[in-house]
Amino acid sequence: MPELPEVETLATDLRPLVVGRRVTGVDLRFPTIVRHPEPEAFARDLPGQTIEALERRGKYLLLRLGGGAVFVVHLGMTGQLLHKLPEDPSRPHTHAVLDLDNGTQLRYSDVRRFGRLLLGTEEDLVAARKLPRLGPEPLAPEFTARELYRRLHGRRAPLKVLLLDQSVLAGVGNIYADESCYRARIRPDRPAGRLSMERVKRLHAAVRESLQMGIDNRGSSVDDYVDLYGAKGRQQEELQVYGRGGKPCFNCGRPLTLVRIGGRATVFCRRCQR
């Protein structure tokens, strides 16, 4: 699933192309990709709206419109958002096409259809449980190690489970959770509430470093992720543990352990992560 670095890459590339543009038409080819409001209302209400700003919140793209409305894109596991000209060939599984007033298009495709498009005010989307209440942004200057310690303290769940909990920390998924634990030399199955402040400081730094490296390398294309122009990221070439179960640890050479934590495949080194 695209995580914070992948969505931030899309947001950075997309912002200068769409801010100030007006949506002139919507073609919903798979209407149920719209989860709020009803697809008919979505296709009726979005045309004529001007995109006033574009933000990322966790793994969500928020295109802010007039009157407090927001058009939200969540890529799910295999969603792709592309900026194209009308004459460009359409990819398979293209489920929605937005025409813009400068003759370009935003196209949303999704093989497994786990992504979603939303339209409404943030308050309405949260109230309808279509947009979750998200925790702090891990790269925000105000997100400190002490704040992370406060959110983990007293919790019995494994660390990996809480790193994936979007109400605890927004934007971290399976890839960067594994990479952050490895970088911090902490086992992902350790009860989160038992981490000392010293270890939480290491984890805080590791999370931020892992995410920033992912952004610098334009995301991890381990499966379906591509950027706005269809190009793959480079971060998958730098991954230390994710997807490498059974392979030697780059640090000590011991085979990496693959387990399931909270239902998610998790890779770590039993020697380097204590």
Q: Is residue 91 part of a domain?
A: yes
Q: Is residue 137 part of a domain?
A: no
pLDDT score, position 128: 96
Q: Please tell me the distance from the alpha carbon of residue 228 to that of residue 134, in angstroms, as a whole number.
A: 25
Give the count of domains, the chain. 2
pLDDT score, position 1: 78
Same domain, 21 and 75: yes
pLDDT score, position 61: 98
pLDDT band at 32 (very low <50, low <70, confident <90, very high): very high
Q: Please tell me the distance from the alpha carbon of residue 34 to that of residue 39, in angstroms, as a whole number.
A: 6
pLDDT score, position 49: 97
- Mean pLDDT, the chain, as a whole number? 97
pLDDT score, position 209: 98
Contact 25, 117 (CB under 8 A): no
pLDDT band at 85 (very low <50, low <70, confident <90, very high): very high
Give every CB contact of residue 221 below 8 A, 6+ residues apart in sequence: 232, 233, 234, 235, 236
Question: What pLDDT digit, counting tens, does each position of 164-203 carry?
Answer: 999 999 999 999 999 999 999 999 999 999 999 999 999 9
- Where a domain ends, among 96, 127, 158? 127
Same domain, 162 and 219: yes
pLDDT score, position 274: 85
- Where a domain ends, among 73, 97, 127? 127
pLDDT score, position 224: 85
pLDDT score, position 247: 98
Range of the domain at 254: 145-268
Catalytic residues, which ones? 2-3, 59, 264
Same domain, 11 and 97: yes
Q: What does the block give as tokens for 229? A: 């122009």
Question: What pLDDT digit, counting tens, does each position of 106-125 carry?
Answer: 999 999 999 999 999 999 99
To the nearest 5 percent, what fractions of the chain are helix, strand and coil?
Answer: 30, 25, 45
